[in-house]
Amino acid sequence: MNFTTYHSGSKGNLYQVDGDAGSLLIDPGVTIRKVKKALNFKLSEISGCLCSHHHADHSKAIHDIAKAGIDCFMLKETAQALKFSGHRLNVIEPLRQFKIGSFSIVPVEIHHQDVITGERIPGVGFLISDRTDKLLYFCDSFYCKYRFGQLGIIALGVNYSKKTMNPNLNTARKKRLFKSHMSLETAIKFFKANDLSKIREIHLLHISSENGDPEYFKSEIMKATGKPVFV
C-alpha cells in the first residue's frame, strides 16, 4: 500500500491510501474543491471514505463526498454530531472489522479531548490491510493503548514536544493539549513498544505550527526507529 498526505494540521486534513484493493480517503477536513484538486478530479476512483471523528478539520467535505456517490464510514456518535445520514452512511464500531472492497479495516479507539472545551470526543484510528500489506492510521490521540505487529506503514499524529512547546501557552490550554494530541516523547515510546521489523515508512501527521517542529520531530523519530520518516 501507499500513503499520501495532501493536507495535515488544524487547518484541515486529507489523506489517501492506495493498494491492490483500491483507493481510500481518510479524514476529508478541507473543502470539496481542495479534495477534487488533490485527486486530480478522479473521485470515481475512490472506494470509500473513512472519518475518524467529527471535528471540522477531519470532516469538512464529508457531506459533499457522499453526494459524489462515495460510501462514508464513521462511528454512530460521529454521524450524529455531523448530522450525517442517508444510504452513503456506514456505521462502524471500535474493534469490529469491516470491509471496503478487498480492504479489511479495524477501527481502533483514539483518546481525544476538545482543546477548547475539554470534552471527550468519540473517535477511531484505522488498521487497514489488504492481501499483502498493513497500515495504521492513528491521529488526534494523546496515547495509544494498542500494540501492533507486521505493519508496513504507520501514519501517526504527533502534535507537540515539551522541548518545542510555545512557552507562552497558558496552563489551561496546556492541560487540554496533553489530553488531546500526542507528544513527540509519547510517540517515541509508542514506536519502541511496537514491532517495527516490517515497517517501510513512518508518516508524521498533524504537527502543530505553534508547538511543534517538523524537522526536529523527523530527526528524533528517525534516530529512535531507524526507519524512513516523512512529514
3-state secondary structure 4-41: EEEECCCCCCEEEEEECCEEEEECCCCCHHHHHHHCCC
pLDDT for the residue 115: 67
pLDDT for the residue 103: 95
pLDDT for the residue 20: 83
Is 90 exceeded by the pLDDT of residue 18? yes
Residue 172 burial class via C-beta count within 10 angstroms: exposed 0-12, middle 13-18, buried 19 and up: exposed
Is 70 exceeded by the pLDDT of residue 218? yes
Rounded distance between C-alpha atoms, residue 164 and residue 217, angstroms: 10
pLDDT for the residue 98: 98
Rounded distance between C-alpha atoms, residue 53 and residue 77, angstroms: 8
DSSP string, 136-185: EEE-S-S-------S-SEEEEE--B-TTTS-TT--HHHHHHHHTTS-BHH
**Torsion sign across C-alpha atoms 146, 112, 208, 186:** negative
Residue 38: C-alpha distances to residues 25, 30, 33, 47 (Å): 11, 10, 9, 16
CATH architecture under which domain 2-230 falls:
4-Layer Sandwich (3.60)
Supply the pTM of this predicted model.
Answer: 0.95
pLDDT for the residue 171: 74
Query: How does the average pLDDT of the chain come out, rounded?
Result: 94
